[in-house]
Structure 1
Amino acid sequence: MRPKWEIQETINSEIPFSEALNKIKKLLLYNRGMNSIQELNSTLNHEYDPFLLPDMQIAVSRISKAINNQEIIGILGDFDVDGLSGTALLCKALGQLDVKTIPYIPNRVSEGHGLNKGSIDNFKSQNVSLIITVDCGTSSLTEVEYASSLGIETIITDHHAITGELPKAIAIVNPLQPKSEYKFKKLTGAGLAYKLSQALFSFLGFKYPNNLIQMAAIGTIGDVAPLIEENRYIVKTGIEEIKKTPNPGMQAIIELIRYPTEINSELISFQIIPRLNAAGRLDNPELSLEILLTDDYSKAKKISRQLDFINDKRKFLTEEIMEEALNRINPDSKIIFLEDEKWPIGIIGLVANKIQEQFNKPAFIIHKNNETSRGSARCPETFNLVKALEKCSNFLEDFGGHPQAAGFSIKTEQISEFKKTIEKIGNTKGNIINSPPSKSIDCKLPIKFLQNKTFEFINSLEPFGKGNPEPIFMTSQVIVTDVQKIGVNQNHLKLKLSHENWKGPAIGFNLAHIPVKSNDLIDIIYNAKNKTWSGKQFIELNIIDFKKL
C-alpha cells in the first residue's frame, strides 16, 4: 500500500544556503522531539542505575555466590540476534571473571523459543547449577519448575510482554514487571544482558570492560528497538567500540562484505544482522554464536564465509516463498492469513513482515505440521498482536512477543477456528487497519541544499533506526534521465535523476512495480547519502516513494 505523504515544512529555493541549513537543523531536531543537538546528545551522557531493574540485586548476589562456589552457569539465549548477542555478552563477561559457562541456543525448528526440557537436561548433564536466560523465559512456568526439580536455579532476563502468571525463578529481570522502578522500558534482551553484567561488575567492585557494549548494540539494532534514551546510548557507544576494537567476528563479516562506507547502524542492520540471523533460520544457530564468541580471527573469517553462503540461501527462499504468498492473498481481506507445510519456520517471520509492509495489514503466516503448527505474525502500529493473541489463547499452545511482532504454536486441528477468530477481530478494526500508512517527511527542499555541511549535521544525529529515523526529504519536479530494473527478481529501480543544476544516481528498493520511464517528471521522497567512490564525492538518493506528475 502506497504511503500518505505528510510534509512538515517547505524550505524555499530562493533563500541563501546558510539560512536553509539553519532551518534544516531546527526542523530535524524538532521532528525528533529536541530543541538542540546538545539536548539530543544529553542521552549519551546518562545511563540508568541497573540496580533499579526488578530483582537485579537478587540476581547479582546469586551469580556472585556461584562464582565463589565455582559453580557452572548455563546461559540460554533466544536464537535471534538479540538473544545470540546477549548470550555472547554474558559468556564473555563471566569468562573475564574466570567463570565456566555453558551457552545454549535452542534450535528454531526442533525446539522453538526459550527454555525447554531438552535444554535443561543438557545443562544438568554438564553439572550446571544455575541457568541465566537471555531474551526469553518470562512465560516459562513449567520449564523453570522442571529445572528446580533437578536442583537447578534460574535467573530470567527478558523484555517480552508479561501476559499471565510469572515463573518461580529466583529472579526475573524484566523492566515490564509491575514492580519495576526502572524508568526506561524499551531495553532489549541484549540490553538487559549488558545491564546484568554491568551490575555484576559493580557489585564485585571491578571495572566494567567497555568493549562488551558492542554486543548490546548489535542486539538492540537487531531487535528493532526504539533508538531513544538508553538504547541510543548503547548503540552509539557500541558502534564507537566496534570502530576502535571490533569483536573478531564483527571484523570478519565487515571485511567480507567490503561495505563502501563507515560502520554505522545501517551497516549493522542490513549487512551484519541478516548474516547472524541466517544460521538460526535455516540451520544451527550455534554457528552465529561461535563467530561472536571466538577470539581467533582466522576462525571468524571461515565462519563468516559460511554465514554468507547461508544468508544467500535465505534470501533466495524468502523471495520464492514471498512470490507464492502474493499469489494467494486476497487484497480485500482485513487480515492476511496464510498456511503451508512447505514454508520453513525460519522464513515465515520474514515473509509476514514483507507482507504487512506491502499491504499495511496484519499478516499471520503458519508453518503447518501434522499435529502442532508454528506461526509468525507482524502488523502495523494500528494493531496489537499481543492483545489479539490473548483473545485467542484458548486455541494456542503457546505465544509471545511484542505488539507488532509475535510468534505462536497451535494444534493443527485448531487453525481453522483460530483463523475465524482473528478475522473477526480484524473486522471490528477494519477502518483502522485499512487506513493507508503515513510517511512523515521532514521537509520539502531543493537538492542543491544537500551539501557537505548538511550531511555533517545529519551524521551527528546517528544512530538511525526506530524512534530516531533517518531524515526524509521531498523534492518536486525531478526529471528521470535513465531507468533500469535490477535485482534477481528485477524488483528494484536504478535511476539517474536531474533537478535544477544537480544530476545524480538514485536507487528505489522494491519500487519496480511503479511505472516510470526516461523524461518523466516526478515528485520524490527519499533519504540522501553523501558517498565517495574512487576519490570522487557524490550524492545518492534512496527513493522511498515517488509520484508521476
Structure 2
Amino acid sequence: MLHSKYRWSPLPCDEEAASRIAGQLNISPLLASLLVTRGMESPGEAEFFLKGSLADQHDPLLLSGMKEAIPRIRRAVDNGERILIYGDYDADGVSSTTLMIYLMRRLGATYDYYIPHRTKEGYGLHIPVLEHFHKKGFKLIVTVDTGISAVDQVAYANAAGMDVIVTDHHEPPANLPEAYALINPKLPYCTYPFKGLAGVGVAYKLAQALLGEETPEAWTELAALGTIADLMPLTGENRVIVKSGLASMARSAFPGMTALLGTSGWSSGEVTSTAVAFGLAPRINASGRMSHANRAVALLTAESMEEAEAIAEELDVLNKERQMLVEDMVQEALQQLEDQAEAEGVPDVIVVAGEGWNAGVVGIVASKLLERYYRPTIVLGIHPETGECKGSARSIPGFDIYEALTDCADLLDHYGGHPSAAGMSLGRERLEEFGRRLNAFAAGRLGPEHFVPVLPTDLACSLKDVTLQAIEQLQHLAPFGMANACPRLLLRGLKLLECRQMGKDGKHLKLILGQNGKTVEAVAFGKGEIASLLAEEAWVDIVAEAGINEWNGARRPQLMIQDLAVSHLQVFDYRGSRNPALQLEELRGKLGKLPAIDSGMSAVVLNSGSAFFQSLDLKDTPVWVYDKNVGLLPGNDLAQTAGNDAMTTLFVMELPESPEGWTGMISAFAGLERIYMLHSPRAPQERIEPPSREQFKLVYSLIYRGADKGLREEDLLAVLATRTGWSKRMLEMSLGVFEELGFIIRASGMIRLHPSPSKQALETSNRYRELGLLAEIEQMLQYGRVPEITEWMLTHTQGAS
C-alpha cells in the first residue's frame, strides 16, 4: 500500500451542459466535459474560452480612476513634466515597469523609473525616494504593481506638490491613499468586469486607454510574463492577453525576451505558460532577489541581441546562486521546525525567522515549507544590526493570510498582499507575539480538514482513452495556469510493468504502466524516492497530466504523474539475503527517511527462541513471535505497548513452524501495508511438500512391512528418506499424522504398528490438514514470484478479515 499525498476530489460535471456544448460547438465530448468542469455553463462561454481574442477585451475606461488618469498623463507629456514610474522588484513589477517605459517612450514623455532594492528598502513607496525625485523636479508619479496601501507616502507627495496615479492589483486596505487617481479592479467601488488582472495587466490597460488601437500587440508579451509569474488566474481577459503574448514570444520583438528564452532552454517552436513560469519568471525574479531588479528591466528594454544575451547570462547565474541559497535556508528552517515540533508540535500557522536570511528568497522558502507541512507559512529574514524582520507568507485554501495579517496590523510596520500570498515587516521583539496572534486567529478558522491537501481531478478514464488525438484536443484549453490547470486525469488499476529512478541522484521516477494490453510511459518529477515503495507488478492508481513525447520523429502519449497510490498490501522480495541483519538495518534506515512513510510502525517477525534475538539490535523495534495457538504474540515490551493495530510494515525474518503462525499474523495486523520478506530458504532436509493420499499410502506400506515388531525411529526415517525422497522434516510430520490417526505408536524412540488401528480417512487428521497448509505457505513464500505471493496473500487477507 502507498498512500496518495493528496485527497483526490473529482470536479463536478453537468453532463447535459457538456452534451449541449459538444453539439453546438462541434467539439468532442471529452473537451466539452473539461470545459464544463472549468465553469463554462453555456456554449457562448465555452466558445469565448476557446476562441476569445484581443478584440474581446473590456474597455479600459471601465476601470475606476482611468478617466482621471488619462488627461493628467497627457497634460504631463504635453507640458514636458518629468514623470516617475515607480515599480516593484518581482517579475510582475518588472514587467509592469518595462511596459510603462515603452509607453512613455511612445508618448515622447520625459520620464525615469525607480524600483526599490528588495532587501535594503523593501516593498512599496518610500518617502526618501519621493523626496529625492521631488528635488529633481518630478511632478507626476505613476506607480505600477504597488501603491494601493501607500497612504502616508501619497500624502507626502501631495504635500510636496506631486500628483500620484496608482495602478495596482493588490487587495485594497480599508484606508485608501488620497491619490490623484486610483486604478485597481479590486477597489470595492470599481465596476470593471474582470477582477483578476495582474499588476502588469492594469498597466497594459492604462496603455490601451492612452493609445487605443495603436497599442502594440507585442506588449502582450510583457503582460503575459507578469500575469503568469504572479500566479494570476488564466481565465477571462487574462486568458486572451496571455494567449496573444505567448504566441508573440515565439517571434518576439524584444531581444531580451528571446535571449532569456534561449538561456532557459527554449530554441524554437511554441512558447508555453510552463516555459514562462519555470524558465523566464525565476530568472527575472532572481534579479530582484539576488541583485537589483534594474538588471531585469535592462534586459527587457535592451535594443541589441548582444546586450540582451549578456544580461540573460547574468540573470541565469543569479538564478543558480538563488537556488543554492534557498536550499541552505530551507534546511535551516526545517531544523527550526523539527526542534519546535518535538517540544510543541507543528503549529497551525508556521512562523520561522533567521538572522541574516536573505529577504529576497524568503517567499520561495515559505512555498517549500508549505508544500512539506501544508500549513500557512511565514518566513522572515532578521537584520543582524537593526533587528528588522522582513518576510513573506504563503497560505493554503480556506485561510486568507492577508486577513490574518490585518488582524495583527498593530504588530507590523508594513504589510500587503493577497489571500494566498503576502509580505510584511516588523521588529524582532514582536516576533514571538506575532506567531502567537496568528495562531490564535487561525484557531477559529482552521480545522483538521484544512490540513489535508486536495487535488482536483477533471476526468476519470482508462488507459485506452489516452490517445494522441485526445491529448491534442486537450491543448485547446491552453494556456494552462492558475484557475485553468492542465487537465488532471484519474486512472485506476494500472499494472506496474517497469519502475526506475532517473535524473541526478535518482530524483525523478519513470514508470511503464499497462492496462488491458495498452502500455504508456509515465514520469513523476521529484518522486524518485517512491521507487523503493512500489512492489513488482503492483496495481497503481494515478492522477496525471497527459502530454506528447516526441523523440526521433516518433510521437507517443506520455503521462506526467501528479500523485499516485497503491491501495493493496505490497510484498517486497529480499529472500536469501547473505546478511539479513544488515539488510534489515539498511531498509529501516531508508524507510525512516521517506516522507511517504508518514504514519504507522514497523515490526520484526521471528520464531520464538530465534537466533536473531542475539544477532539483531532490536531494543527500539517491536518484535512479534509466531505462536501455534493464537498465531502471533508480542515478543518484547515495545510490541506489547504498541499493539498490533499500529503496525503497517513487517519485516519477516523467518517462516513459521506451523500454518497458524502465518495465518494468525495475517489476521492480526489489520492495517498492514507492506511486507518485506527477508527469510532464508529452508535447507533441503527441512523442505515439505503438499501431501497426497498416494504418497501417504506408500509411506504407510513401508512402515507396515517392518514395524510390526517395532523399529528405531531414526532407522525408519533413513529407510523412508531413501525410498520416498522426502525430507526428514516431511517424514517426521507424516509420522505425526499416522500417530494422530492411531495407525502407529511412538514411544522412547521406537515406532510400532498399532495392534487394532481404527479406520479413519487421512483428511480427518488435523495434522494432515496443517501439513498441507504449511506446505502451501512455504512453497509460495520460498519459491513464488512476488506478484503471485501478493495475489495469494491478498486472498488470504480477505479470507482472514
RMSD: 2.3
Q: Secondary structure at 1:439's aligned position in 2? A: strand
Q: Distance in 2 between matches of 1:259 and 1:505?
A: 24
**Higher alpha-carbon deviation: 149-158 or 35-44:** 35-44
Q: How many angstroms does 1:136 deviate by?
A: 0.5
Residues 477-528 of structure 1: per-residue CA shift (max 9 Å, x gap) = 3233444445666543333444444444332233345433553331111111
Residues 129-152 of structure 1: per-residue CA shift (max 9 Å, x gap) = 211100100111222222234332
Residues 210-246 of structure 1: per-residue CA shift (max 9 Å, x gap) = 2112111111111111111111111112112223434
Q: Secondary structure at 1:542's aligned position in 2? A: strand
1:115 paired residue number: 125
Q: Distance in 2 between matches of 1:125 and 1:447?
A: 68
Distance 1:486 1:342, change over 3 A: farther
1:40 paired residue number: 49
**Higher alpha-carbon deviation: 245-254 or 89-98:** 245-254
Residues 47-74 of structure 1: per-residue CA shift (max 9 Å, x gap) = 1111111111111111000110112211
For 2:261, give the aligned amino acid.
Answer: I
Determine if contact 1:75/1:102 at 8 Å carries over to the other structure.
yes
Q: Distance in 1 between matches of 2:185 and 2:552?
A: 48
Q: Distance in 1 between matches of 2:461 and 2:427?
A: 54
Q: How many angstroms does 1:122 deviate by?
A: 4.1
Q: Distance in 2 between matches of 1:182 and 1:225?
A: 16
Determine if contact 1:382/1:432 at 8 Å carries over to the other structure.
no
Q: Secondary structure at 1:62's aligned position in 2? A: helix
1:253 paired residue number: 260
1:28 paired residue number: 34
Q: Distance in 2 between matches of 1:309 and 1:462?
A: 31
State yes or no: 1:286 paired with 2:294. yes
**Which one of 562, 581, 588 corresponds to residue 544 of structure 1?**
562
For 1:441, give the aligned amino acid.
Answer: T
Q: Secondary structure at 1:400's aligned position in 2? A: strand
**Higher alpha-carbon deviation: 403-412 or 113-122:** 113-122
**Which one of 69, 72, 86 corresponds to residue 82 of structure 2?**
72
**Which one of 311, 315, 336 corresponds to residue 307 of structure 1?**
315
Residues 347-399 of structure 1: per-residue CA shift (max 9 Å, x gap) = 11011112223322111111123432112111111101111111111111111
Q: Distance in 1 between matches of 2:109 and 2:462?
A: 59
Q: How many angstroms does 1:256 deviate by?
A: 2.3
Determine if contact 1:75/1:132 at 8 Å carries over to the other structure.
yes
**Which one of 260, 281, 285 corresponds to residue 273 of structure 1?**
281
Q: How does 1:115-134 map to 2 (within 5 A)?
A: 115-134=125-144
State yes or no: 1:533 paired with 2:536. no
Determine if contact 2:393/2:421 at 8 Å carries over to the other structure.
yes
Distance 1:71 1:8, change over 3 A: closer
For 1:521, give the aligned amino acid.
Answer: W
State yes or no: 1:349 paired with 2:363. yes
**Which one of 470, 477, 480 corresponds to residue 464 of structure 1?**
480
Q: How many angstroms does 1:42 deviate by?
A: 5.5
Determine if contact 1:75/1:134 at 8 Å carries over to the other structure.
yes
Determine if contact 2:95/2:226 at 8 Å carries over to the other structure.
yes
State yes or no: 1:479 paired with 2:499. no
Q: How does 1:397-416 map to 2 (within 5 A)?
A: 397-416=413-432
**Which one of 207, 213, 217 corresponds to residue 220 of structure 2?**
213
Q: Distance in 1 between matches of 2:539 and 2:323?
A: 34
Distance 1:320 1:486, change over 3 A: farther
1:158 paired residue number: 168
Determine if contact 1:114/1:136 at 8 Å carries over to the other structure.
yes
Q: How many angstroms does 1:259 deviate by?
A: 3.2
Determine if contact 1:176/1:185 at 8 Å carries over to the other structure.
yes
Q: How does 1:406-445 map to 2 (within 5 A)?
A: 406-431=422-447, 434-445=450-461
Determine if contact 2:164/2:179 at 8 Å carries over to the other structure.
yes
Q: Distance in 2 between matches of 1:255 and 1:474?
A: 35
Higher relative contact order (CA 8 A, sep 6+): 1
Q: Distance in 2 between matches of 1:452 and 1:347?
A: 40
Q: Distance in 2 between matches of 1:504 and 1:309?
A: 37
Determine if contact 1:395/1:410 at 8 Å carries over to the other structure.
yes
Residues 436-479 of structure 1: per-residue CA shift (max 9 Å, x gap) = 12211111222232223212211111111111111000222323
Q: Distance in 2 between matches of 1:492 and 1:321?
A: 23
Identity of aligned residues (%): 32
For 2:537, give the aligned amino acid.
Answer: N
Q: Distance in 1 between matches of 2:172 and 2:452?
A: 31
TM-score by length of 2: 0.64
Determine if contact 1:88/1:292 at 8 Å carries over to the other structure.
yes
Q: Distance in 2 between matches of 1:87 and 1:147?
A: 20
Determine if contact 1:85/1:215 at 8 Å carries over to the other structure.
yes
State yes or no: 1:180 paired with 2:186. no
Q: Distance in 1 between matches of 2:329 and 2:10?
A: 36
Q: Distance in 1 between matches of 2:534 and 2:297?
A: 44
2:539 paired residue number: 521
Q: Distance in 2 between matches of 1:198 and 1:392?
A: 39
Q: Distance in 1 between matches of 2:505 and 2:404?
A: 35
Unmatched runs of 5 consecutive residues or more in structure 2: 14-21, 568-801
State yes or no: 1:262 paired with 2:278. no
Q: Distance in 2 between matches of 1:322 and 1:420?
A: 22
Aligned residues: 538
Determine if contact 2:223/2:245 at 8 Å carries over to the other structure.
yes
Q: Distance in 2 between matches of 1:440 and 1:497?
A: 22
Residues 248-302 of structure 1: per-residue CA shift (max 9 Å, x gap) = 1111111223337621111111111111111111111111111111121111111
Residues 146-192 of structure 1: per-residue CA shift (max 9 Å, x gap) = 22343322111011111232222111111122321212111110000
Q: How many angstroms does 1:103 deviate by?
A: 1.6
Determine if contact 2:392/2:424 at 8 Å carries over to the other structure.
yes
Distance 1:433 1:144, change over 3 A: farther
Unmatched runs of 5 consecutive residues or more in structure 1: 11-17
State yes or no: 1:222 paired with 2:236. no
Determine if contact 2:152/2:177 at 8 Å carries over to the other structure.
yes
**Which one of 374, 386, 390 corresponds to residue 402 of structure 2?**
386
Rg larger in structure: 2
